[in-house]
Amino acid sequence: MNIIANYRKAGYYSKGLDRATQLFPEILSAPQSIAKEYAATLLLNKEYEQAKSYCVKNNTLSSIQKTHFISTAQLLQFDWKGATKSILNYDSLQKTNPDNTWLQSISYKKLAEEEAKARYKKPAIAMSLSAVIPGLGKVYTKDYKDAIIGFIIVGSSAFNTYRGFSKHGINSAYGWVFGGVALGFYSGNIYGAYKAVKKHNHRLRDKIYNKVETEFIQSL
């Protein structure tokens, strides 16, 4: 167990998994202490489906231990619906299968609630706002600096386009050049709003993911 645990603590997850199966070919029937290390290492190695399958088929982990690992996998996969159901099993399970891991449900519940309250942004809204007023999509994602820069660039390009056509008519090379520039920046501004939303939502998810992973590691 110490050998496998040391691989996990050192971050050599794949080596730890390989070593565990070498020492215990019948890994599904491995002693509980080994099974816990194996399941934990699968999760840390981001093998979430394998971890859930292992817990379901395992013969030595307690029901509450299985619930702990499965709910962790679901949280790390952002399967909030499934995780919420698993977390609800903690209280009833700990009455018949007492284990310290059930205390983790309190932290997991808070994290699930935090995700439910997270203010994710919608790409369609950001793109629509930027289409109406350049830079407004970035304001939606609170990227104020980029919003101001985008508004100034698109606005100045559009103004120069207008000035060129006003002075020299439809054949104005000046107007067509700045018109192309304005259109390019305008299109880029809309796409930039889409990317800003993706980045904003990714940051929120990463924050919650890191909290779940930290809570899980502390429970080992």
Q: Hey, where are the domains in the chain?
A: 2-119, 123-207
2-119: CATH topology is 1.25.40
The amino acid at 109: K
Indicate if the pLDDT at residue 83 is higher than 90: no
Give the tens place of pLDDT for each residue, 11-37: 999 999 999 999 999 999 999 999 999
Axis crossing angle, helix 63-76 with helix 80-96, rounded to the nearest 10: 160
**Residue 114 is encoded by which pair of tokens?**
């935090």
pLDDT for the residue 46: 94
Asked if residue 20 lies in contact with residue 49, where contact means CB atoms within 8 angstroms, the answer is: no
Asked if residue 50 lies in contact with residue 35, where contact means CB atoms within 8 angstroms, the answer is: no
On whether the pTM is more than 0.85, the answer is: no
The residue whose two tokens read 């996998």 is: 73
166 vs 219: CA distance, rounded Å: 70
CB-based burial label for 11 (10 Å; 0-12, 13-18, 19+): exposed
CA distances from 97 to 12, 48, 89 (A): 31, 24, 11
Q: Between the CA atoms of 104, 106, 108 and 109, what dihedral angle is there, to the nearest 10 degrees?
A: 160
Find, among 62, 52, 60, the residue nearest to 83 by Cα: 52
Give the tens place of pLDDT for each residue, 127-168: 999 999 988 988 998 888 888 988 898 888 888 888 888 887
pLDDT for the residue 150: 86
Give the tens place of pLDDT for each residue, 31-45: 999 999 999 999 999
47 vs 74: CA distance, rounded Å: 11
pLDDT, the chain, mean: 86
69 vs 59: CA distance, rounded Å: 14
Q: Between 100 and 207, whose confidence is greater?
A: 207
